[in-house]
Amino acid sequence: MDVHIGLSGRQDLAGQIYRQVREAIVAGRLPPGTALPATRRLAAELGVARNTAGAAYERLAAEGFLRTRVGSGTFVADGFGGRAPDPAPGVLRPLPVWETIREPVSLEGRPRYDFRPGHPDVRFFPWASWRRLLTSQLRAGAAGSGMYGDPAGHPELRAAIAERLAAARSVRADPQDVVVTAGAQQAIDLVARVLLPPGSAVAVEEPGYPPVRHALAAAGMRVVRVPVDAGGLVVDALPDDARLVFLTPSHQFPLGMPMAPARRAAVLEWADRHDAVLVEDDYDSEFRFAGRPLEPLHALDGSGRVLYVGSFSKTMLPTLRLGFLLAPPSLRRALRTAKYVSDWHVPLPEQAALAGFLTEGSFARHVRRMRRVYADRRARLLAALPPELAPVPAAAGLHLSAWLPPGSDDAAIAAEAARHGVAVFPLSMFGATAPPGLVLGFGAATEIEPGLAALARSLR
Ligand SMILES: Cc1ncc(COP(=O)(O)O)c(C=O)c1O
Average pLDDT over residues 215-239: 97
Average pLDDT over residues 315-325: 97
Q: Which atom of ligand 1 is nearest to the CA of 182?
A: 10
pLDDT at 324 over 90: yes
Calculate ∠ Cα 412-418-421, nearest 5°: 155
**DSSP states along 273-300:** HHT-EEEEE-TTTT-B-SSPPPPPHHHH
CB distance 311 to ligand 1 below 6 Å = yes
CB distance 280 to ligand 1 below 6 Å = no
Is there a single domain that holds both residue 400 and residue 269? Answer: no
Q: Which tops the pLDDT comparison, 416 or 9? A: 416
Instruction: Please provide the average confidence, as pLDDT, over all residues in the chain.
Output: 94
Q: Of the residues 122, 209, 250, 398, which should be mutated to test ligand 1's pocket, given the most ligand atoms within 8 Å of the CB?
A: 209
CATH number at residue 368: 3.90.1150.10
**Coil/strand/helix, residue 371:** helix
pLDDT at 226 over 80: yes
Residue 392 belongs to domain spanning: 112-119+364-458
Beta bridge partners of 228: 233
What would the pLDDT profile of 428-442 be if each residue is shown by its tens digit?
999 988 899 999 999
* 167, 361 contact by CB (below 8 A): no
**CB within 8 Å of 70: residues ≥ 6 apart:** none
Listed residues 345, 363, 381: the one ending a domain: 363
Number of domains in the chain: 3
**Coil/strand/helix, residue 50:** helix
CA of 234 to the centre of ligand 1 (A): 22
CATH number at residue 261: 3.40.640.10
CB distance 441 to ligand 1 below 6 Å = no
What would the pLDDT profile of 352-365 be if each residue is shown by its tens digit?
999 999 999 999 99
In the chain, % of residues over pLDDT 90: 86
Is there a single domain that holds both residue 342 and residue 445? Answer: no
**Other Cβ atoms closer than 10 A to 300:** 17
Structural domain contains residue 64: yes
Is there a single domain that holds both residue 216 and residue 288? Answer: yes
CA distances to 288, 364, 381, 404, 449 from 384, rounded to whole Å, are 20, 30, 5, 15, 6
Q: Which tops the pLDDT comparison, 369 or 106? A: 369
Give me the pLDDT at residue 145, please: 67
Structural domain contains residue 185: yes
What would the pLDDT profile of 340-393 be if each residue is shown by its tens digit?
999 999 999 999 999 999 999 999 999 999 999 999 999 999 999 999 999 999
Is there a single domain that holds both residue 177 and residue 311? Answer: yes
Give me the pLDDT at residue 144, please: 65
**CB within 8 Å of 180: residues ≥ 6 apart:** 152, 153, 154, 157, 158, 161, 322, 323, 324, 345, 346, 351
pTM of the model: 0.89
What would the pLDDT profile of 143-197 be if each residue is shown by its tens digit?
666 789 999 999 999 999 999 999 999 999 999 999 999 999 999 999 999 999 9
pLDDT at 425 over 70: yes
Listed residues 321, 344, 363: the one ending a domain: 363
